[in-house]
Structures are given as structure tokens and as C-alpha cells.
Chains A and B, each alone.
Chain A
């Protein structure tokens, strides 16, 4: 158990809908990262927050947004969903912002778009 909690574990919805994925980092971790894992793209970095502030941005679509709250939990919002958004979404956390720190991953949220 990595200590990173993601909810829900599975999500099934339809095209055009909006969903929110939630992540609670390990106790004491200030950084939260979001990744998307799909068969065609592999594991892709989406975005990082550190202590409530956006720290780095990757291949995140404009239809997607995220935030980190004062209690350090994070939410990833996906809107106007398309079939291609079906994927496993991982949240990871690390103690600080340093690039040397290992990121510890949650179990993921599997999103299926019908």
C-alpha cells in the first residue's frame, strides 16, 4: 500500500459528460502528480501541484483541469468526455518538489467512456 488514495476505483460514463477524480496524497507529501495511462499513449504526465500551486504541466488537454486544496488533496476534472479519454488515471505524491524524489502512486481510477 503506497499510502496514496484514489477514488473512485472505476468510473463508467458517456461521451459529453463531466467527471471528477479525487486523490489523497501520502501523509506529509506536498506534491501531487496526475498521469494518464492508455494503450496507445502509455503513461503520460498531465500536471503537478505543490502545496496548492501548479508546478508543472504536461500533455493535459484544455478540457481537463486540476487543483490541489488546502488539505492537500487533489481533484482532476475531465469534461466534454470523448471515447479516447478512456484510460487509467493515476495520482502520485512525493514529499517535496525535488526532481530526485520518488513518486508514490495510487491504485488508479479506471475511466470507461461508453
Chain B
């Protein structure tokens, strides 16, 4: 069975602070993809990044960076110099190649990030 755990239910920071959102996953498959999605207050789900299980290179996109560590089954997301517009719910998700899990994205419970001015 697949599982994604986002231990932080809510995080509150002040603008310009750095913040890291944790994600830990479980899967028996050796081939899988990890994703992060953002859900702003307006409700839509916005795709942020995809990472495959064979690529542990960290990625940086502007103020966003992702740290994938297979040894600890973690795929953490850091926002540098946070802004009020970053306030949203952030979801980590897993999709693997194996068996009955093939089609589904398994989502974590989400982390509510609030950035105060």
C-alpha cells in the first residue's frame, strides 16, 4: 500500500521567513514519481513539481526548492523568503507504476501555510 504523510498540519510564518514543508512517503514499488501541488484559497489545485525515484538531484525554481532523499523516503519543499501570496494548502503526492496503484495519485493530508505580512 502507498502512503504519504505530511506531519505538519499548519505552519504560520511572517513574511520573508524561510519555511520547509515535510513529506514522507511509503511504497513497495521501486519506480515511482513524487509531486507537489498547491491549493490557494480560491480552491484549485496547481501542479508545482514532479520528481522520479531515480533522480535524487535537488531542484530549485526561484524561491522554491525541493530536497528528495530516498534513504529517508522524504521529499521536502522549502520556500525561501516567503510572501503572503504563498499562503495556501500544499499537498505532497505519490504515484507508482505498480499494480492497482497505477492510476492514482496518493495525496498527503496537506499542510496549511499562512504567511503573515
Q: Which residues of A are interface residues toward B (Cβ below 8 A)?
A: 2, 33, 35, 42-43, 45, 47-48, 55-58, 88, 90, 92, 99-100, 102-108, 110
Contact = CB atoms under 8 A, between A and B. Distances in A.
Interface of B: 32-33, 35, 37, 42-47, 50, 52, 91, 93, 95-97, 100, 102-110
A59 to B, nearest CB: 9
Given A88-B43, A99-B97, A107-B44, 9 more contacts: A42-B107, A42-B109, A43-B93, A45-B103, A58-B103, A99-B32, A102-B47, A104-B47, A108-B45
22 contacts: A33-B103, A35-B105, A42-B108, A43-B105, A45-B103, A45-B104, A45-B105, A48-B103, A55-B102, A55-B103, A56-B102, A92-B105, A99-B32, A99-B96, A99-B97, A102-B50, A105-B37, A105-B47, A106-B44, A107-B42, A107-B44, A108-B44
A11 B73 CA distance: 40
A48 B104 contact: yes
